[in-house]
Amino acid sequence: MNPKQARFVQEYLKDLDSKQAAIRAGYSEKTAAQAGSRMVKELSIDIASAMAKRQDRVEVTQDQVIQELSKMAFAKLYDPTEWGPKIRALELIGKHLGMFSERQDITLRVERPLKELTDEELDANVQT
Protein backbone atom coordinates (compact mmCIF):
# COMPACT_ATOMS: atom_id res chain seq x y z
CA MET A 1 0.00 0.00 0.00
CA ASN A 2 1.46 3.34 -1.02
CA PRO A 3 1.29 6.49 1.18
CA LYS A 4 -1.66 7.93 -0.74
CA GLN A 5 -3.64 4.72 -0.29
CA ALA A 6 -2.76 4.62 3.41
CA ARG A 7 -4.04 8.18 3.75
CA PHE A 8 -7.24 7.14 1.95
CA VAL A 9 -7.81 4.34 4.47
CA GLN A 10 -7.41 6.75 7.40
CA GLU A 11 -9.68 9.34 5.78
CA TYR A 12 -12.28 6.71 4.89
CA LEU A 13 -12.58 5.70 8.55
CA LYS A 14 -13.70 9.22 9.46
CA ASP A 15 -17.07 9.11 7.70
CA LEU A 16 -17.09 6.06 5.40
CA ASP A 17 -17.55 8.39 2.42
CA SER A 18 -15.27 7.05 -0.30
CA LYS A 19 -15.48 10.13 -2.53
CA GLN A 20 -14.68 12.59 0.25
CA ALA A 21 -11.94 10.31 1.60
CA ALA A 22 -10.35 10.24 -1.85
CA ILE A 23 -10.44 14.05 -2.06
CA ARG A 24 -8.94 14.42 1.43
CA ALA A 25 -6.26 11.88 0.50
CA GLY A 26 -5.21 14.02 -2.45
CA TYR A 27 -7.06 12.53 -5.41
CA SER A 28 -8.63 14.81 -8.02
CA GLU A 29 -12.18 15.98 -7.30
CA LYS A 30 -13.12 15.07 -10.87
CA THR A 31 -12.18 11.42 -10.43
CA ALA A 32 -12.67 11.09 -6.66
CA ALA A 33 -15.93 9.12 -6.87
CA GLN A 34 -14.42 6.49 -9.15
CA ALA A 35 -11.09 6.40 -7.30
CA GLY A 36 -12.81 6.10 -3.93
CA SER A 37 -15.07 3.29 -5.10
CA ARG A 38 -12.12 1.43 -6.61
CA MET A 39 -9.98 1.84 -3.48
CA VAL A 40 -12.72 0.61 -1.16
CA LYS A 41 -12.74 -2.61 -3.18
CA GLU A 42 -8.96 -2.89 -3.57
CA LEU A 43 -8.15 -1.93 0.02
CA SER A 44 -11.02 -3.75 1.74
CA ILE A 45 -8.67 -5.88 3.86
CA ASP A 46 -6.66 -2.82 4.93
CA ILE A 47 -9.87 -0.92 5.74
CA ALA A 48 -11.22 -3.84 7.79
CA SER A 49 -7.93 -4.11 9.65
CA ALA A 50 -7.91 -0.38 10.42
CA MET A 51 -11.51 -0.57 11.66
CA ALA A 52 -10.63 -3.50 13.94
CA LYS A 53 -7.63 -1.61 15.34
CA ARG A 54 -9.81 1.42 16.01
CA GLN A 55 -12.41 -0.75 17.72
CA ASP A 56 -9.70 -2.20 19.97
CA ARG A 57 -8.40 1.29 20.80
CA VAL A 58 -11.76 2.71 21.81
CA GLU A 59 -12.94 -0.55 23.40
CA VAL A 60 -16.43 -0.19 21.96
CA THR A 61 -18.07 -3.01 20.07
CA GLN A 62 -20.88 -2.92 17.55
CA ASP A 63 -22.97 -4.94 19.99
CA GLN A 64 -22.53 -2.29 22.68
CA VAL A 65 -23.59 0.47 20.32
CA ILE A 66 -26.66 -1.46 19.18
CA GLN A 67 -27.57 -2.24 22.81
CA GLU A 68 -27.37 1.43 23.80
CA LEU A 69 -29.32 2.53 20.73
CA SER A 70 -31.93 -0.13 21.54
CA LYS A 71 -32.31 1.22 25.08
CA MET A 72 -32.98 4.68 23.65
CA ALA A 73 -35.18 3.45 20.84
CA PHE A 74 -37.43 1.31 22.99
CA ALA A 75 -37.64 3.52 26.07
CA LYS A 76 -41.15 4.60 26.98
CA LEU A 77 -41.33 8.32 26.30
CA TYR A 78 -44.44 10.33 26.94
CA ASP A 79 -43.08 13.78 26.17
CA PRO A 80 -43.06 14.41 22.38
CA THR A 81 -40.05 16.72 22.76
CA GLU A 82 -37.96 13.66 23.70
CA TRP A 83 -38.88 11.71 20.57
CA GLY A 84 -36.06 13.10 18.40
CA PRO A 85 -33.28 10.98 19.94
CA LYS A 86 -35.60 7.95 19.96
CA ILE A 87 -36.38 8.34 16.26
CA ARG A 88 -32.68 8.80 15.47
CA ALA A 89 -31.79 5.67 17.47
CA LEU A 90 -34.41 3.66 15.59
CA GLU A 91 -33.10 5.02 12.30
CA LEU A 92 -29.53 3.99 13.12
CA ILE A 93 -30.62 0.51 14.18
CA GLY A 94 -32.67 0.17 10.99
CA LYS A 95 -29.68 1.17 8.87
CA HIS A 96 -27.48 -1.30 10.72
CA LEU A 97 -30.00 -4.06 10.05
CA GLY A 98 -30.23 -3.11 6.36
CA MET A 99 -33.89 -2.18 6.60
CA PHE A 100 -33.59 0.95 4.50
CA SER A 101 -32.30 1.25 0.99
CA GLU A 102 -31.47 4.40 -0.89
CA ARG A 103 -33.93 5.04 -3.67
CA GLN A 104 -33.29 6.96 -6.81
CA ASP A 105 -35.92 8.45 -9.07
CA ILE A 106 -35.26 7.93 -12.75
CA THR A 107 -36.82 9.84 -15.61
CA LEU A 108 -36.84 8.11 -18.96
CA ARG A 109 -37.63 10.10 -22.09
CA VAL A 110 -38.34 8.00 -25.14
CA GLU A 111 -40.33 8.46 -28.32
CA ARG A 112 -40.94 4.77 -29.07
CA PRO A 113 -42.39 1.96 -26.96
CA LEU A 114 -39.87 0.67 -24.41
CA LYS A 115 -39.93 -2.87 -25.76
CA GLU A 116 -38.60 -1.59 -29.11
CA LEU A 117 -35.54 0.09 -27.57
CA THR A 118 -32.13 -1.52 -27.21
CA ASP A 119 -30.29 -1.50 -23.88
CA GLU A 120 -27.95 1.15 -25.25
CA GLU A 121 -30.87 3.40 -26.22
CA LEU A 122 -32.43 2.97 -22.78
CA ASP A 123 -29.16 3.82 -21.03
CA ALA A 124 -28.66 6.88 -23.23
CA ASN A 125 -32.08 8.26 -22.29
CA VAL A 126 -31.97 7.73 -18.52
CA GLN A 127 -31.77 10.90 -16.42
CA THR A 128 -31.20 10.61 -12.69
Give the chain's domains with CATH numbers: 3-58 (1.10.10.1400), 60-128 (no CATH)
Does the model's pTM come out above 0.85?
Answer: no
Mean pLDDT over residues 13-38, rounded? 92
Whether pLDDT at 128 is above 90: no
| pLDDT for the residue 8 | 94
Q: Over the stretch 52-80, which tens digit does the pLDDT of each residue have?
A: 888 788 777 778 888 888 888 888 888 87
Phi first, then psi: what are they for 104, rounded to 5°? Answer: -135, 125
CB count within 10 Å of CB 127 equals 8
Is residue 22 packed enough to be buried (19+ CB in 10 Å), middle (13-18) or exposed (0-12)?
buried
- At position 17, the amino acid (one-letter code) is D
